Amino acid sequence: MSTRFSHYSIYQVDAFADAVFKGNPAAIVPLDTWLPDAVMQKIAMENQLSETAFFVQVGSGFDLRWFTPFFEVDLCGHATLAAAHVLFSELHLDGGEVVFKTKSGELKVERDNGAYRMNFPIDRLSPLSDDRVEVALGVPPMALFQGKDDLLAVLECEKAVRELEPDMRRIAELDARGVIVTARAGRAEQLDFVSRCFFPKYGIDEDPVTGSAHTTMAPYWSEKLNKSTLRAAQRSPRGGSVGCEVLGDRVILSGGAVTFLRGEISLPLVAG
């Protein structure tokens, strides 16, 4: 019995970044046809990044799926931005816009002077009371909300967000994908709000920069600050910046991306 191999291009892109080693790294794998779900999940586990995205061209658009090391997810911002960057900068897609079809509906990404603008559905919040969140975070939130997938905990100041040392085991026990913590930004920078995001249940203790979380935070801060255009920063060790614009039931997220790695995956095919 001989072993043959199939080969697939793979790119690693730092999203919501203007230089490598910043923002949130995502792996992007362009495909002609879908691989089995179990194989894509194994590739994501092998990569050990917060997200690995796969896309297949269908007509003039692309079907797009996202995998953490442990699960497929319904929405991921930074890997969507990274996928658009690969299409435009590495595969030289014509035009100024790409349309992705996903489990969260149709997502459009536009090129914008070296950066990208993504049109995402807004996340609606419901007030929540859960004493376990305070225990998990180690500090009492000023306000707590339930979003579609995540909990949003509002803290009193940026310093509290920066210094937070949550209990990951207790966060994983909560009834949500993860916890977003946020606060109004300090006055030293031209920012409106800051955040950190924790998803230990999905194999990601702290996500470097979480695009989808900003569809949850942007409507909250837009109403709180009475402005539709906001600047945000995620205070993870890598850090990253996200522009937000609230437009009705949509949020425009904007940021840059940089290719870090170009490579090839070899998957064995067993032939008799």
- List the catalytic residues: 51
Pairing relation of β-strands 257-271 and 2-15? antiparallel
How far apart are the C-alpha atoms of 9 and 61, rounded to whole Å? 19
Strands (E), the chain: 2-15, 24-31, 52-58, 61-67, 72-73, 97-102, 105-112, 115-121, 126-127, 143-146, 151-154, 179-184, 193-199, 204-207, 229-234, 240-247, 250-255, 257-271
Contacts of 263 (CB under 8 A, 6+ apart): 9, 10, 11, 12
Q: How many H helices and E strands in the chain?
A: 6, 18
Asked if residue 24 lies in contact with residue 14, where contact means CB atoms within 8 angstroms, the answer is yes
Place of tokens 């998990």: 136
The pair of three-digit structure tokens given for residue 99, joined into one six-digit string: 């349309």
* CB distance 111 to 94 below 8 Å: no
